[in-house]
Amino acid sequence: MLLNNLLLKNKLIFVGLALVLCVVSLLSLSFGALNIPLKQVALNLAHHLGVSTTEPVDELYSGVMDLVRWPRTLLGILVGAALGMSGAAIQAIFRNPLAEPGLIGISAGASLMAATIIAFEFVFFSTLGSLFGHYLLAAGAFLGAGIATLLVYRISLHHGKPHIGTMILAGVAINALAGSLTGLISFASDEQQLRSITFWMLGSLGNASWYTIWTILPFVALALVGLPLLAKALNSFSLGEQEAQQLGQNPQQNKLRVIVLATLAVGATVSVAGIIGFVGLLVPHAVRMVGGSDNRYVLPASALLGSIILTVADLIARTIVAPSEIPIGVVTALLGTPLFLFILIRDKKKFAA
Q: Which stretch binds another protein (CB under 8 A): 52-60, 92-100, 198-206, 208-216?
A: 92-100
CB of 10 to another protein, least distance (A): 12
Strands 161-162 and 157-158: what pairing? antiparallel
Q: Is 345 in the site for another protein (CB under 8 A)?
A: no
Q: What is the 3-state secondary structure (H, E, C) of 193-227?
A: HHHHHHHHHHCCCCCCCHHHHHHHHHHHHHHHHHH
Can you state the angle between helices 130-156 and 251-273, rounded to 10 degrees?
A: 160
Q: How many C-alpha atoms does 285 have within 13 Å on its Cβ side? A: 21
In the complex with another protein, the residue whose CB is nearer, 1 or 131, is: 1
Q: Closer to another protein at the Cβ: 186 or 245?
A: 245
**Residue 239 binds another protein (CB under 8 A):** yes
Only one of the segments 128-136, 273-281, 288-296, 322-330 lies at the binding site for another protein (rule: CB under 8 A); that segment is 288-296
Binding of another protein by 348 (CB under 8 A):
no
Q: Scan residues 217-236 and list those touching another protein (CB under 8 A).
A: 231-232, 235-236
- The residue type of 179 is G
DSSP-H helix ranges across 205-294: 210-229, 231-237, 241-246, 251-273, 279-291
For another protein, which is the closer residue by CB, 166 or 252? 252
Nearest Cα neighbor of 147 from 111, 100, 87, 106 is: 106
Q: Does residue 338 interact with another protein by CB under 8 A? A: no
Q: Does 294 bind another protein (CB under 8 A)?
A: yes
Rule CB under 8 A: choose which of 16, 238, 321, 322 binds another protein: 238
- Rounded distance, CA 147 to CA 166, Å? 17
- Whichever of 92 and 268 has its CB closer to another protein, that residue is 92
DSSP characters over 73-105:
HHHHHHHHHHHHHHHHHHHHHHT-TT--GGGGT
If binding means CB under 8 A, how many residues of this protein chain bind another protein? 32
Minimum distance from CB of 12 to another protein (Å)?
18
Question: Among residue numbers 301 through 320, which ones bind another protein (CB under 8 A)?
Answer: none
Minimum gap (Å) between residue 279 Cβ and another protein? 19
Binding of another protein by 288 (CB under 8 A) = yes
Which residue lies nearer to another protein by CB, 39 or 95? 95
Cα three-residue angle 68-72-74, rounded to 5 degrees: 125
Answer yes or no whether residue 92 interacts with another protein by CB under 8 A: yes
Q: Does 242 bind another protein (CB under 8 A)?
A: yes
Q: Which residues contact 229 (CB under 8 A, 6 or more apart)?
A: none
Q: Which stretch binds another protein (CB under 8 A): 49-57, 200-208, 290-298, 321-329?
A: 290-298
Query: In this structure, are residues 81 and 304 in contact, taking their beta carbons and an 8 Å threshold?
Result: yes
The amino acid at 43: L
Binding residue for another protein, selected from 248, 324, 338, 352, defined by CB under 8 A? 248
Closest by CA position to 170, among listed 257, 108, 86: 108
Q: Please, which of residues 94-153 interact with another protein by CB under 8 A?
A: 95-97
Contact 335, 273 (CB under 8 A): no
Instruction: Summarize as ranges the residues that interact with another protein (CB under 8 A).
Output: 1-5, 92, 95-97, 231-232, 235-240, 242-243, 245-250, 288, 292-294, 296, 350, 353
